[in-house]
Amino acid sequence: MVCESSLSEIHEGNDVLLYLDRKRTYLVKVEQEKSFHTHKGFVQLEELVGKQYGTRIASSMNIEFVALKPTLRDHIFKMQRKTQITYPKDISLILMFSDAGPGNRVVEAGTGTGALTTSLACHVRPTGHVYSYEVRTKFMESALKNLKRAGVSEYVTVKNKDITEGIDETEVDAVVLDLATPWLVIPHAYAALKGSGVLVSFSPTIDQVVKTVEALKENGFVAIETVECLMRGMQIERGKTRPQTLMTGHTGYITHARKALK
Ligand SMILES: C[S@@+](CC[C@H](N)C(=O)[O-])C[C@H]1O[C@@H](n2cnc3c(N)ncnc32)[C@H](O)[C@@H]1O
């Protein structure tokens, strides 16, 4: 399961990230009599049972892999994608702004691939819950599989509903949006949130942000702020250390605000 930080020994049924190098990593489930085949030979997964995470294992071609414990970020990047996902750099900020923590009840839309849903579930567990709205049945079904694979489905209720038509939940701690028309959700978010609750909205275009901020101002939200997160990787080599030439230039803008009572 994702977010099981206390686990140090590999058991049957656990996930392992087989690491060859930075570009070649494989998320596998450890099972008896199961081998994992790569172009560098196959790895007998049952040999990992009882070993510590971080152990080295040789493939049939004597190539060394490291059996890492998958992080939340690893799970997200390995998900079967049916939609664009929220990137980990943006998820990190969304988690901070939404203040998602154990026991919180969070409404989210749209579920999409479930990357952001998984991250929220990881933070509100074991006593909190995520209610995630997805209008497209195919995306919902695919996200359900990803949530199950990550082991967080018991902390999430996925609803095959259009969130612009209303939110069923009340007194929630946060509403988190990543969908094309967030401004249409703002009045429903206001009704669903507790006083002082947080709204966070991710949008790829500035036109969406302007409409969303206008709707927030008209609907009783305060402390409205929009940010963009640019993450630049570094190339580290003595005498040649500098920023990497290529970077993800744009993902989107994050707007966050608080509900003031009327
Ligand atoms: C960019 S994807 C979300 C990706 C998601 N944050 C993730 O990390 O995997 C946007 C999703 O919103 C859904 N959507 C769009 N409008 C919606 C609405 N009114 N109600 C519910 N879902 C909606 C789309 O079908 C799509 O799956």
> What are the b/e assignments for 96-107, b being 16+ CB within 10 Å?
ebbebeeebbbb
Residue 4's pLDDT is what?
67
**pLDDT tens by residue, 161-183:** 999 999 999 999 999 999 999 99
Domains along the chain? Answer: 15-70 (3.10.330.20), 74-233+240-259 (3.40.50.150)
Which residue's C-alpha comes closest to atom 25 of ligand 1?
136
One-character DSSP codes across 94-116: HHHHHT--TT-EEEEE--TTSHH
Asked if pLDDT for residue 57 goes beyond 80, the answer is yes
- pLDDT category at 40 given cuts 50, 70, 90 is very high
Closest CA to 255 of 194, 218, 213: 213
Give the nearest ligand 1 atom to 202 CA.
6
Q: At what angle do helices 115-124 and 137-150 cross, to 10 degrees?
A: 50
Average pLDDT over residues 70-75: 95
CA-to-CA distance for 34 and 13, rounded, in angstroms? 11
| 86 SS3 class | coil
52 secondary structure, DSSP code: B
Q: Is the CB of 143 under 6 A from ligand 1?
A: no
Cis peptide before 70 (omega within 30 of 0): no
Sign of CA dihedral 79, 84, 89, 94: negative
Ligand 1 pocket member 85 (CB < 6 A) = yes
User: Ligand 1, atom 13: nearest CA belongs to which residue?
Assistant: 110
Average pLDDT, the chain: 96
Q: Identity (one letter) of the amino acid at 24?
A: R
Does any ligand 1 atom lie closer than 6 A to the CB of residue 87? no
Residue pLDDT, tens place only, 181-216: 999 999 999 999 999 999 999 999 999 999 999 999
Q: Is ligand 1 within 6 A of the CB of residue 113?
A: yes
- Give start and end residues of each alpha helix (H) in the chain: 72-77, 88-98, 115-124, 137-150, 186-192, 206-218
Q: What is the pTM of this model?
A: 0.95
Q: Which amino acid is at 7?
A: L
Is 200 a pocket residue for ligand 1 (Cβ < 6 Å)? no
Pocket test for ligand 1, best of 118, 136, 179, 201 (most atoms within 8 A of CB): 179
Q: Is the CB of 208 under 6 A from ligand 1?
A: no
Pairing of strands 253-259, 193-203: antiparallel
At 199, list the tokens. 């709204």
User: What pLDDT, on a 0 to 100 scale, did the predictor assign at position 7?
Assistant: 74
Test site for ligand 1: of 136, 138, 157, 201, most ligand atoms within 8 A of the Cβ: 136
Residue nearest to atom 7 of ligand 1 (CA): 85
Question: CB-based contacts of 227: which residues, under 8 Å, 6+ apart?
Answer: 93, 253, 254
Ligand 1 close to Cβ of residue 173 (< 6 A):
no
> Hey, which residues does 256 pair with through a beta bridge?
200, 225
